[in-house]
A and B are shown apart, each in its own frame.
Chain A
Amino acid sequence: DSGVTQTPKHLITATGQRVTLRCSPRSGDLSVYWYQQSLDQGLQFLIQYYNGEERAKGNILERFSAQQFPDLHSELNLSSLELGDSALYFCASSVGLAGGPRETQYFGPGTRLLVL
C-alpha cells in the first residue's frame, strides 16, 4: 500500500459526459501528479500540482482540468468524454520539490475509466 488513495476504482460513463476523479496523497506529500495509461499511448504525464499551485503540464487535453485543494487532495475533471478517453488514470504523490528529480513518486491504485 503506497498510501495514495484514489476514488472511484472503476467508472463507466457515456460519451459527452463529465466525470471527476479524486486523489488523496500520502500524508505530508505536497506534490500530486496525474498520469494516463492507455494501450495506444502508454503511460503519459498529464499535470502536476505542488501545494495547490499548478507546477507542470504535460499532454493534457483542454477538455481535462485539475486542481489541488488546501487539504492537498486533488481532483481531475474530464469533460465532453470521448471513447478514446477510456484509460487507467493514476495519481501519484511525492514529498515536494526540494528533492527535485531525485524524489520518488508513489502511485495510487488508479481509476479505470470506460467511456461507452
Chain B
Amino acid sequence: GNSVTQMEGPVTLSEEAFLTINCTYTATGYPSLFWYVQYPGEGLQLLLKATKADDKGSNKGFEATYRKETTSFHLEKGSVQVSDSAVYFCALSDTGGGNKLTFGTGTQLKVEL
C-alpha cells in the first residue's frame, strides 16, 4: 500500500536559517503530493501541492518539487521565521478511486530568535 516517510523531529532552527524537511513516498500509480501545516491548537492547512512529476509547489516562501525518480517531495524554505513554528505533514493522495490522503508522521519545527 501507499506510505509516506518523513524525517523525525523536532527540528530546531534559528530565525533566517535554511529549512529542509525530507519526505519520501511509496505509491502505485501517479499520486499527487501535498504538504500540510498544523499550528498549535489548529487544524491542518494546505501549504502546497504538486500533481505530477517535476512539478514544483510553492507558497509563502516554501517550495517542494515532485521527484518521481527518487520518490521524494522535500520541503524547503530559504529563511524561516518564528511564525513558521508548527508541525509539517507530507501526504499523498490515493489513485485507486477515492481520494484519501496518506500522511507521514509529521515533523515539528521550532524556530528561535
Q: Could you list which residues of chain A lie within 8 angstroms of chain B, going by C-beta atoms?
A: 2, 4, 31, 33, 35, 42-45, 48, 55-56, 58, 90, 92, 94, 97, 99-110
Contact = CB atoms under 8 A, between A and B. Distances in A.
Contacts of B102: 45
Contact of A48 (B99, B104, B106): B99
A100 B32 CA distance: 9
A56 B97 contact: yes
B99 A105 contact: yes
B43 A110 contact: yes
A33 B97 CA distance: 14
Contacts, number: 71
16 contacts: A2-B45, A42-B104, A42-B106, A44-B103, A58-B100, A90-B44, A100-B95, A101-B29, A101-B30, A101-B32, A101-B51, A101-B95, A103-B99, A104-B34, A104-B49, A110-B43
A26 to B, nearest CB: 12
Interface in B1-59: 29-32, 34, 36, 42-46, 49, 51
B111 interface: no
A36 to B, nearest CB: 11
A6 B105 CA distance: 23
Contact of A45 (B29, B32, B101): B101
- Give the 4 A-B CB pairs with smallest separation, nearest first: A56-B98, A101-B93, A43-B103, A107-B44
A105 B103 CA distance: 13
A19 B8 CA distance: 34
Nearest to A47: B100
Nearest to B36: A107
Nearest to A103: B99
Given A42-B105, A43-B89, A56-B94, A100 B43 contact: no
A55 B46 CA distance: 23
